[in-house]
Structures are given as structure tokens and as C-alpha cells.
Structure 1
Amino acid sequence: MANTRRDHAATTPRGKVLFITIDQWRADAMSAVGHPCARTPALDRLAADGALFLNHFAQCSPCGPSRASLLTGLYQMNHRSVRNGTPLDSRHRNLALEARRAGYDPMLFGYTDTSADPTRHATGDPALTTFEGVLPGFRVGCQIQEDGGPWRDSLVRLGYPLEDGPLAAYQPVDGGAGYALGGEDAPRPIYDAEHSDTAFLTDRVLEYLTPRRNEPWFAHVSFLRPHPPLIAPEPWRSLVDPADVPLPSRPLSREEEAKAHPLLAWLQHKHGRPGVYTGHDVDMAGLPERELRQVMATYYGLLAEVDHHVGRLVSHLENTGQLDETLIVITSDHGELLGDRWLFGKEGYFDPAFRVPLIVRNPQREAREAKGVTVKRFTEAVDIMPTLLDWIGLDVPAECDGRSLLDFTRGQQPGTWREAAHWEFDFRDVASQRPETMLGLTSDQCTLMTLRNDRYKYVHFTALPPVLHDMQEDPLEARNLADDRAYRGIALEMAREALNWRMLHADRRLTNTVLTADGAFVRNGPRIGGRSDSAGSGAP
């Protein structure tokens, strides 16, 4: 049968793509949505000139799994890279490989934290010793890993004194304790602002883009910040006054929180002393108020630094006449609790760990006419790959769980859309078995999924008690209603919806293919509502 897929015929790239991720960026950490301490003028301008998505959610955490969803368009239950270090099966299509089908040479600046598929590597291959691999299909423009890589090398060339160790570049000047051990101020890094990791990566991107103003390109820029270590050079170090920082949301005491659910007790135990935040072994949840405010102020300072360098990239596009040729997508892999619920990091099920910003600037005429639109519908990380593929003229692979967002950027409402957000979190530790031992579970029982609509949030665990919150009456998620007799009907309905979601989004790569006398017949349409997008085509 004749093959009608656009991606088989598309060999000439159209347009340009700038896809930016800002690591560990909370949804509320943006001045455009009213945060008093977020200094994000460049991002605000992009939001005003494009579309700002107000209810956008990551699919999972931590970094490796969340980026697997971003870059494959798959829910975690389908890509199954569930922890940092869990291999991403090479059978999955991904954003970079698909872009190559359209004639692009996708470039990576930063990292994707993709754990290599061991079935494609020989025993002893160094690729199997790290979770910091590169997603197949990307050509590396500049890779930044945990040890700093080329950025660290640049500091050495500039004469900065670096000690041994993966976090050596982030050590404070003169070994100063800073806020972590009761110091008066935030610690100072050894490097100046023009030599920071964020500045270095941006310089590499601009070096790549400068000679390519008259040709198509596809760049994925993955900024580390404001991911810890929380140490910032001036002027970002002192940009935000700690006295102005709102304190974390803590509706329950630390002890009450640990008793509220077994997972929360484990997370308090696991993340009680995350030295990566301060460079010191301190009880983060027990920080005095002054030090806590300073930690948070440094987070917002680092975010402001990223905003500044995003502004440099956008200014380059403006100055070279490329802005209206380039689709710009800016989001995060996951959020940051930043002390909320006595936790730091991005694990669990609370909104701040999974709700993230999303800005899409579509240069098409219809989107220019609708600029400044704010989208309140639930959108998810799995929608990013379909959006980018739609822009470059490719069909979205049938197995993708997300849908293109381009209609929203034009001020249009899709005929059918999801009524809830979904995310998953896998808390197993295959090597150490610490959570399994503490919670009395097997590794495969250390899983949860969350269904969150406008009113309720339901968290289903494989082998732990469920959680139900009324987000209208209890926006701080302080009261678990799962065992409340008055809410049994709601809990049952949410559980049914969660099961429906999981059944609907089971892997369908070949499910809608049938072998006939004329060969393989494919019917790949939307999963919900509407008509089929394709009456039939050739091989999948």
C-alpha cells in the first residue's frame, strides 16, 4: 500500500528549533506568575510574546526518568527508565532520531542523563558505568556532566584553583561555611559570573549558532541551574534579599509529616542531609530560618542567572533576524520542593516537585496574532516531543502518549483534551535496597501514580496506602481523605479514572497494525475522541 506518512517524505528541514530545559525549576518561580523573588525578565518577555502554560506537569522524577519522558513522548510506565541509571530501551523512538528523519542534525548543549541500553553495549563498556549518557541521535556540541567536564577544564585554563572531586568547582572561596554552618552570608564560588557553568554553556551555544544564521538548525540547550549545589557568583549571589523570601509551605510539623504516610517518612530519612545543596553535611529540614531563607534566595539568584543567559540567546536570534524563523520551547525536567513539606529535591507526589513552567513561542503568523495567550488546560511533558515534531513537519509516532500544543499557541482549543494531569514516581533502589528494607516492599512495589484534576488529587501506590486530597478545600495537601467515609465515592472514582488512564495509554506501537493480503495496514488516530488521523498507510 502507498505510504502516506509525512516523515518518510520530509528530507529538507523547515524552520529552526531552540528547545531549552532549566533544571529543577518550580512552576511558581517566575515573576510573570507573581512570585515576589523570581527575577525573570527575559522569560517573562518570551511568555508575553508567546504562550504560557499554567498547568504543566512533569511525568516523573528524578532527572533521567523525567528527561526520558520529555525526549520520547512516553509515560514512565511505557519507557520504563524509572530511576537515574535505569537503562532507556533503545527500541523507543526519540526526539533526536525523529528530527534526523526531517533532515536536521540535532545538537545537544548540556546533558540528557540517558542511561545506555546494556543490550547494545559490550560488557565492560564505560557507557555502562554512568547514568549521564547522551540520548541517541544527538550530536554533542558541549556536554556538561556532574564533574563539570569541559567547563571544569576551562576553569583550570583560566587559572582557578580546583581541588579533586566531582563537585570541586562548586567549593566556596577559602572553604567558607556560608549559610550551611551558620555563616552570615551565602558562600562565594571560586569563579566569576562570566566564567560560571551557565555562562560557559551559553557561550558554546552562541559559538555554534553564529555561523548558521542562514541555515536550519535544531539545538537542545539543557541548563543545570538552579539545580544544586546552591552557590552563585555575584551579582546573582546577593540579588535576592533573604528577608523577602516566602518561607516553605509546612502545614504539618516535621514529625506529623513523617507520620502522615510511609513514603514521606522514607523521603525525610533519605533527603534529610543532602550535602549537594550546601556542600556540607547538614540537616536541611532543620536549618534555622535565616539560613533557610538564604538557601532559597540563592535558588532564585541562580534562576535569575539562567534568565539572563536565555536573554542572550533570544537577543542573538533577534539581532540576526532569526527570531521569527525559530520555534522556542522552554520548560523544566521537574520541579523543586525547596523546603516545602520539610523536603528538598523533586521526589514524592507533592505538586511543587512535578508542576513546572512551560513557554512556547511559535513564530507562525496565527500564533503571532494570538501572542500573550495563557493556557490553563492540563498539559504534560509528553506533549513536548509531539509539539516539536509537529513544528518540523513530522507525524507523531503512534506510541507517543502526548499531543502537539501548537493549536494552543494559536489561541485555538483542541476538540478533545485531557481533564487531568498524571505523573509517576518510582522510589526503588535496586542496588542498596534501602527503601525496600525500610518500607518492607519489593523493588517492583516501590511505585506510585498520581491523577490530579481541577478538584481532587489521587495518589495510588502499588503496595502502600492511597492518598486523596481536595485541592479546592485543602490546597496545601494537609489532610489525606482516602479513608474518610464521606469521600469513599470520590476515591473510588479517581481510582477508576487512574485505571482507565493506564489501560488507554498501554504501549500501542503495533497494536493498531494488522497484516492483510495487501500487507501491513495501519490505523493510528488519537487515543480519545475525534476521528482517526489516518485512514490507513503502509508499514509503521
Structure 2
Amino acid sequence: MNRNEERGRPNVLLITVDQMRFDCLSIAGHPVVETPNLDELARTGVRFSRAYSATPTCVPARAAIFTGQSQRTHGRVGYQDRVPWNYPVTLPGELAKAGYHTQCIGKMHVYPARNLMGFHNVVLHDGYLHHNRNFHGIPMQEHYDQVDDYLQWLRERAPGADLIDTGLDCNASTVARPWHLDEMKHPTNWVVTQSIDFLRRRDPGKPFFLWMSFVRPHPPFDPPQAYLDLYEDADIPDPPVGDWAQGDDSSLEGLAPTTGKGLVPKRRLRRAMAAYYALITHLDHQIGRFLQALNEYGELHNTVIMFTSDHGELLGDHHLFRKALPYEGSAHVPLIVNDPGGRLHLKQGTVADEVVELRDIMPSLLDAAGVQIPESVEGDSIWRLAAARNEADTASPVWRSHLHGEHAYGHQSTQWVTDGTEKFIWYPQTGEEQFFNLAEDPMELHNAISDEACRDRIEHWRSILIRELEGREEGFTDGERLIAGRKQAAVLSHIRV
């Protein structure tokens, strides 16, 4: 028995990937993707089938993870870089104060880039971020040459290497090519290599909180060749296209490598999908590599594990790509919890159907560590949804009835509400509305907003959204109706510089 076990305090391992869809797990029924290690975590743990990112892009999603707050409170309702992160209460900060050795390896995507956000140490790789790549107007202490630890490591092993050597942009969701260097130099392998090294150099007298934060499967779609080969001859299904999707692409937007929509040539799209799936299998194998090392260090059975993604990837669904929009491929994320030591008494191998969100990560991990949850946290601990219950207890745990999501995105800005079985979407710049019966139409193929049979349900959800938006600075509602055309910013005024 090690000293952490004697104290009854588990290590906490948070594994996040960037831009992974909810459905890309073998155990969730995906017809192509192979994820044996994640499947095993779900098989011996609990998988949440209705986990969402309320603001599905990197910056606001990570604000929810760090603070445990809704987007209305943490203030990031869209994607905007270079807005300082001044949150006084954070997940790693609370664990550090409680005596945990806290470490992040990989992506943070905060500002300034080297902001510790409560961690004792950060080994950083945010990936390719345009705002710190430009040579004009960027202070040297923020330039990627100065802040990125992976790039420094890579250049020691491949002199002159850069993040753009493959010619792929960080938002190129429709093009792909294999990784051009040794697999061990891939950023996915690097995160695990550095994480294993943390096991060597951690303080053995303290429990640890390790956030392994991968950049992939976010573009560039550059899996090692061996993983791309796995999907070379796979029967990859075409993306679903709803009756509401825009079918015209007269501007040929689908030919652009970083398009957010359009008709992409079929061969290019299939290869991009294959590369995306290959990146996920590569991640899965590297996660398995770390779990083996964790076991070798004698810490696996003293570690609570959580796996999720900050948002999804539309990957051609409805002729759309990337993220930010509220459709399932973008906003619906995987979430798996596992407790090898049995401390939390999880009902192993089950699927929890309650609607959970990234703001629930902070209170859940604090709860698992026995650390008091701060009053500023608005999420809730998910363990009661995942715990085995007495057979005599037939009552379901009390939980939220719905989730409110949004994203400032120009004329494509959205506000939406869902309970995982139905979804109502409002485009506040145009006034367009959509309604999907997810229980019967999980791929969102039919926009039922004009269906007479759905009128009462649509009015129900519209009234909920009105209540969620009351008092907002943008003036989205007067309390009785939704008001289109209001000016909207990516960050709310209480955190603007």
C-alpha cells in the first residue's frame, strides 16, 4: 500500500482530447472507429451518453472546465483569443490548495499562454494558434517560439522543424496527409511521453492531479501512416445530411481546406474522415500506453480517471465542418469515468443518460478528491449518476432538466436548449428556428419546426430559452419573446478588457 492509499486520497487523472465527436467510440456503436482502450474504460466504468459542450469551441469550453461555471458566468460565449484569464477559483488551484501536486501537459489555450491557472507546472503545447503565430503585433513573450514546449522539444530532435511543415492549417477539416516524422515525435506521443516522465518526477508524498490535454484529433489531420492504413479500405459511411441542410455551393466554398461548410469532393472528404478516425485510434493507443505506465508505477488502482473532449467535429454532417454550431457532431461529446480502485462504487459497464456538461468536471473531480466545492461553481458532481444504488432505491437521482448552450459566431450565432431527447435552436441574428426530436431522429435529419404535431413541444422549449436569456446584456428577450438582430460579442462585458 502506498502513502496515498493510506491517506485515502486518490490521484486524479483528467484526459481531454480536442475536437472528438461523441459517437467515435466502438462501444458507442460506431461502425468504423476502433477505440479498444477507451472501450475498456467505459466497460469497467460508466459512459455518459448525453454529455455536451455548451459553448463548443476551445476557449469557452476550457473556461467551463477550469471554473465549473456556465458560459453566462465565466463570460466566454464565443471564441476570442487574447482576453486575459483572471479567474480566482480554478480546478487545479483548488486541488493544489488541498495538497495535490498539480500538473498540466499539453493544451491549455488560456491567455497569457503561460498562465498557470492554479497548476504547479505546465508543459505546454497549444497546437497551432493563429494569434500567437503572427510575427506582427505579438509580444515576443507570447510568440509560439517562446511559449510552446513541444516545439522546443521537437527542434532538439528535428532541427528546423515547425508546426506547419505538413502544409496543413489548424482548421483544415477537409484535407489530410500522414505524419512526416517518426511516430514518437508526434504531439500525441509527446503528451504521453511527458506524462510518463511526470510519474517519475512527481512528489511521492502527495496525491497528484494530472491533466493530459491532447491537441488531436483537432486538425491538422496528420495521423502516423500505420494508423491511416487501418482505415484505408474501411467502409466509411457518408455523413448524414438533413432535409434542412444547404445543398447549394455556387461559391465553391467546399473546395477551401479550412471551410466551415460546402460540398467537398467525395474522395477528399473520405480521406479526411479516415484520417480523423486514425487520429482517434492513435490517441486511444497512446492513452493505453499511459495507463500501462500508471499501473507499473503502482498508481492505477489509486487513480480516479475521467475522459472527455472540449467539443466535437461536424466532419461533413449536413455539409458542415469544424465546430461552434449546436448540432450533435459539434456540441455532443464523449464522457467516460473510471475508478479502478472502487472508491466511488461505480455501477460498472453502465450508460448514464442524464444531460451533463463540461462545467460538471470541476465539481466532480473535487468531490472525488474529497475537496470542498467552492460556491462559485455552478456545475454538479456526476458521481451520484454513476454510482451503484441499492436495489430497493428505485428513485432516480435529482438532476438538471435541460442544458442551455450558445455560441457567438457572426450571422451563424446560436442559442439552444436540449434535454438530450429534444433540441430547440434559435439563430439570434436571423431569427431562424429549428427543432429536432433526437429520440426519433438522432442524426437531426428533419427540422420539425413547422410540424403541427410538435407545436406544443416547440413552444415549451422556446419559453425555456426565453427564461434562460432574461437579463442578458445583449437584450435577446423582453421576457415574452425572442428578439433577433441584437449585437453580440464573444465575451460578455464583465470580463472584457
TM-score normalised by structure 1 residue count: 0.73
Q: CA shift at 1:301, angstroms?
A: 0.5
Query: How many Å apart are 1:34 and its aligned residue?
Result: 1.4
SS of the equivalent of 1:382 reads helix
For the residues of structure 2 that align with 1:80 and 1:272, how far apart are their CA atoms?
A: 33
Deviations 1:25-62 (A, max 9, x none): 11110111111221111111111121111111112121
- Is this contact kept in 2: 1:257–1:341, CA < 8 A? no
> Does the CA contact (< 8 Å) of 1:362 and 1:406 recur in 2?
no
Equivalence for 2:433: 466
Structure 1: unaligned runs, 5 residues or longer: 1-11, 116-126, 173-178, 181-185, 259-264, 277-281, 428-434, 440-445, 507-540
Counterpart check, 1:451 vs 2:451:
no
Between the aligned partners of 2:127 and 2:347, the Cα distance in structure 1 is 40
Superposed displacement of residue 20, structure 1: 0.8
Would the alpha carbon gap of residues 153 and 169 (structure 1) be closer, same or farther in structure 2, given more than 3 Å must change?
farther
Correspondence 1:206 to 2:196: yes
Pick aligned residue for 1:168 from 155, 164, 167: 164
1:486-505 aligned within 5 A: 486-501=453-468
Q: Which residue of 2 aligns with 1:295?
A: 272
Distance 1:448 1:21, change over 3 A: same
Q: 1:304 aligns with which of 281, 302, 317?
A: 281
Change (3 A) 1:305 1:455: closer
Distance 1:485 1:402, change over 3 A: same
Q: Tell me the distance in 2 between the aligned counterparts of 1:332 and 1:211.
A: 27
**Gap change, CA 1:141 and 1:87, over 3 Å in 2:** closer
Question: How far does the alpha carbon of each residue in 1:186-226 deviate from its partner, in whole angstroms, 9 at most, with x for none?
Answer: 63332111211111121111111124466411111100111
**Correspondence 1:112 to 2:108:** yes
Instruction: Go from structure 1 to structure 2 and tell me whether the alpha carbon gap of 1:98 and 1:214 turns closer, same or farther (over 3 Å shift).
Output: closer
Say if 2:59 is the partner of 1:64: yes
Question: d(CA) in 2 for partners of 1:314 and 1:104?
Answer: 20
Cα distance in 2 for residues equivalent to 1:76 and 1:169: 36
Taking the aligned partners of 1:490 and 1:75, their CA distance within structure 2 comes to 25
In structure 2, the residue matched to 1:338 is 315
Which of residues 76, 86, 93 in structure 1 aligns to 2:71?
76
CA contact (8 A) 2:92 2:209 kept: no
Aligned to 2:137: none
Q: In structure 2, how many angstroms separate the alpha carbons of the residues matched to 1:465 and 1:187?
A: 38
> Which residue of 2 is the match for residue 137 of structure 1?
118
The counterpart of 2:28, out of the listed 30, 33, 42, is 33
Alpha-carbon contact 1:96-1:106 (below 8 Å) kept: yes
Give 1:123-272 correspondences, 5 Å limit: 127=112, 132=113, 134=115, 136-147=117-128, 149-159=148-158, 162=161, 167-171=163-167, 180=175, 187-212=177-202, 215-252=206-243, 255-256=246-247, 272=254
Structure 1 pair 366–410 and aligned structure 2 pair: CA distance change class (3 A): farther
Give the counterpart letter for 2:351 in structure 1. T
Corresponding residue to 1:417 among 399, 411, 430: 399
* CA radius of gyration, larger in: 1
- Tell me, what secondary structure is at the counterpart of 1:384? helix
The alpha carbon displacement at 1:379 in A equals 1.2
- Relative to 1, partners in 2 of residues 1:134 and 1:252: Cα closer, same or farther, differing over 3 Å? farther
Aligned position for 2:371: 394
1:493 is matched by which residue type in structure 2?
H
2:37 corresponds in structure 1 to 42
For 2:9 and 2:470, the matched residues in 1 are separated by: 36
8 Å contact kept, 2:9–2:370: yes
1:526 maps to which residue? none
CA distance in 1, matches of 2:125, 2:190: 10
Q: Please list the CA deviations of residues 285-318 of structure 1 after superposition, one character each: whole Å capped at 9, or x if unmatched.
A: 4332222111100001111111111111111122
Q: Distance in 1 between matches of 2:191 and 2:303?
A: 20
Q: Mind listing any 5+ residue stretches in structure 2 that lack a counterpart?
A: 1-6, 129-143, 169-173, 390-394, 474-497
**Aligned pairs, how many?**
437
Between the aligned partners of 1:425 and 1:460, the Cα distance in structure 2 is 11
SS in 1 for 2:270: helix
AA matched with 2:328: D
Counterparts of 1:364 and 1:407 in 2: how far apart (Å)?
A: 17
One-letter amino acid of the structure 2 residue matched with residue 154 of structure 1: W
Question: Alpha-carbon deviation of 1:257?
Answer: 7.5
| TM-score normalised per structure 2 | 0.79
Are the equivalent residues in 2 in contact too, given 1:79–1:92 (CA < 8 A)?
Answer: no
Aligned residue number for residue 426 of structure 1: 408
Counterpart residue identity of residue 312, structure 2: G
Q: Does the 8 A contact of 2:11 with 2:207 survive in 1?
A: yes
Shift of 1:394: 1.9
**2:362 equivalent among 373, 385, 391:** 385
Letter of the aligned partner of 1:361 in structure 2? N
What secondary structure sits across from 1:491 in the alignment? helix
Measure the CA separation in 2 of the matches of 1:254 and 1:321.
Answer: 52
Distance change in 2, residues 1:395/1:460 (3 Å): farther
Counterpart code for 2:32:
C
> How many angstroms does 1:419 deviate by?
2.6
Alpha-carbon offset, residue 477 of structure 1: 2.5
CA–CA separation in structure 1 for the residues paired with 2:324 and 2:63: 16
Q: What is the aligned-residue identity percentage? A: 29
1:375 partner SS:
strand
Say if 1:92 and 1:155 are closer, same or farther in 2 by CA, change over 3 A.
Answer: closer
Aligned equivalent of 2:351: 374
Give 1:500 shift.
4.0
Q: Which amino acid aligns with 1:385?
A: M
Name the CA shift for 1:253/1:273 in 2 (closer, same or farther; >3 Å): farther
8 Å Cα contact 1:23-1:332 kept in structure 2? yes
Cα gap change, 1:452 to 1:402, in 2 (>3 Å): same
The alpha-carbon distance between structure 1 residues 366 and 159, as it changes in their structure 2 partners (threshold 3 A), is: closer
